[in-house]
Amino acid sequence: MLDTLAQRLGLRTNPTIFFSAAILMVVILTVLLIFPDETGEIFTAGRAWIVSNLGWFFIMGVSLWLAFLLFLAFSRFGNVRLGDEDSRPEYTNVSWFTMLFAGGIGTVLMFWGVAEPISHFAEPPRNVEPYSVAAAQDAMSFSLYHLGLHTWTIFTLPGLAFAYFIYRYKLPIRVSSVFYPFLKERIYGPIGRAIDVFAILGTLFGVAVSIGLGTQQINAGLNYLFDVPNAVLPKVIIIAILTTVAVGSIVAGLDSGIKRLSNLNIGMAVGLMIFVLFTGSTVFLLRQMIETIGLYAANIVPLSFWNDAMATYTDEGGWGWQGGWTVFYWAWTVTWSPFMGIFVARISKGRTIREFVLGVLFAPSAFTLVWFAVFGWSAMEIDGIGGEGGEISAAVVESVPLAMFEFFENYPATVLIQGLAVVIVAIFFATSSDSASLVVDMLCTGDGEAGPVRQRVFWGVSEGLLAASLIVLAGEAGLTALQQVITVIGLPVFLMVFAMAFALIRGMQQEKIERPAVAPPEPPLTDEEKARAEQEGPAALTDER
């Protein structure tokens, strides 16, 4: 019946996966809209339990994943090519990087580039004096820990697993393919379908939360510049407009749409960063770039295992500072992992495991370090390191999305630059949405070819509707409500990614990787052979042997 329905609708997909995911998404949307208060209470209670009891599991897990990936990169498997042995990368390193970044956390850096360092600067996570030098250094260390190697680890592990099983084992482009070493042919049955449907729903929610954050920042910017009300209705209108832009890119496809938008957006973001660097305290920022590398290197290992275990429990939930920051980041980022993993795998065919791991981990992380060094240190210097805080800190207390716009008040061409920041956030939002839509479509079709236009448009519109519903559900609570939703959804996805590491190990062990044959050493000559060699020459023995 589902096959017939798919044919009548002109779809080219797996009907079971497509319709199951679509129906469940509609059901969730309906529940969110009809019972917003009850749903909010459930997510609030769920988040409180998870961060109180399993926060340590999130912290330990991501750090273990990072160590595992580095081990693979430098092991004998590092030279294994993700594809046939004669395959080569389809995209240049520059295009590959821009697509990685724009499809990944471009929106996040625009949202948190100023806000996170200033937040930790004003309210330090550890016991140091606010606005002090120590607070500034801690603020930068935590910001890079959250959005550097560890964030990209969450994308790299599933991306490597997808690429390995899709290109080495020639399996469909689906999350269930990663579990082939355990499930074998059952990936094509009910268990495999259930995994794929769950991955689609998790991806839709993860992207919807990102769209919600981006929409809050765009609305804050429009409110700051043009007095557009900072309310639910304008945010829903913003989502509708930008979803339309994203759908246009979806129709254009990966090479024409997403690649062009990604290159345009990364260029604009780099231009904005250069503007801040050269119109601000240039020498101070250049010096801080070098120091920031040292700060990150010195603190990444301690922070990777810091659990905020001595946090004081309170009546409000008692999970300490880390529950609202690190656990939220990891839970949110991991919901992106099916989408980003398959997206990264799709654009990385032909690269070796070593190239893949080191490229996906370090190239975006290096850009993130420079970004935070420029924006974070600039903001903290403006507010007064060693002082008592300033306008940017006050803006973060009032509304996190306002931080970027208050920050630009200290630079020339203020209104123009603030407007440009809104445009960059909007395009990052569009690239994330269209990338996710194409990937969700791939999860349904099982191959790398784009499905029919109507099919891709359906997922693009669905992401917009889900994001708008979360905005309505969040209401005045805003970011807090989005944190609650994504933390609850992130836990089962986190467990799934953990299982991917074991599947990858098992798959590598089971595959017969071709290696160059090494000729055995020649046995020593006998006395008879030595005599013949003297009489007839060495060639006589070589031919015989």
3-state secondary structure string across 179-247: HHHHHHHHHHCHHHHHHHHHHHHHHHHHHHHHHHHHHHHHHHHHHHHHCCCCCHHHHHHHHHHHHHHHH
Measured distance CA(115)–CA(406) in Å, rounded? 10
CATH class held by domain 2-510: mainly alpha
Phi, psi for 389 (deg, rounded to 5): 90, 170
pLDDT digits (tens, 9 = 90+) for 193-226: 999 999 998 888 888 877 877 788 888 888 888 8
**Which single residue is written with the structure tokens 């009548």?**
8
User: Which of the four pLDDT bands, split at 50, 70 and 90, describes residue 317?
Assistant: very low
Q: Report residue 220 as tokens.
A: 């804050």
User: Which of the four pLDDT bands, split at 50, 70 and 90, describes residue 102?
Assistant: low
352: which strand partners? 81
Q: Kindly report the number of other CB atoms within 10 A of residue 117's CB atom.
A: 30
Q: Report residue 189 as tokens.
A: 């049955």
HEC assignment per residue over 329-366: HHHHHHHHHHHHHHHHHHCCCCCEHHHHHHHHHHHHHH
Residue 519 in this model has a pLDDT that exceeds 50: no
Query: Among 66-70, 128-132, 472-476, where is mean pLDDT lowest?
Result: 472-476
Angle, to 10 degrees, between the axis of helix 232-252 and the axis of helix 414-445? 60
Measured distance CA(44)–CA(316) in Å, rounded? 11
User: Which of the four pLDDT bands, split at 50, 70 and 90, describes residue 543?
Assistant: very low
Looking at every residue in the chain, the average pLDDT score rounds to 84
Phi, psi for 352 (deg, rounded to 5): -80, 165
- Give the C-alpha distances (Å, rounded to integers) separating 387 from 81, 383, 399: 54, 8, 22
pTM metric for this prediction: 0.85
Q: Is 34 exposed, middle or buried (0-12, 13-18, 19+ CB in 10 A)?
A: exposed
- C-alpha R_g of the chain: 26
Identify the pLDDT of residue 483: 67
Question: What average pLDDT does this structure show over 502-510?
Answer: 92
Residue 95 in this model has a pLDDT that exceeds 50: yes
Residue 340 in this model has a pLDDT that exceeds 50: yes
Identify the pLDDT of residue 513: 46
Q: Report residue 467 as tokens.
A: 């994001």
Measured distance CA(292)–CA(404) in Å, rounded? 21
Dihedral-angle region of residue 352 (phi above 0 means left; psi in -120 to 50 means alpha; beta otherwise): beta
Residues 175-212: b if buried by 16+ CB within 10 A, e if exposed: bbbbbbbebeeebbeeebbebbbbbbbbbbbbbbbbbb
124: which strand partners? none
Domain ranges within the chain, ordered by starting residue: 2-510
Residue 367 in this model has a pLDDT that exceeds 50: yes
Q: Are 96 and 89 in contact (CB under 8 A)?
A: yes
Q: Is 406 exposed, middle or buried (0-12, 13-18, 19+ CB in 10 A)?
A: buried
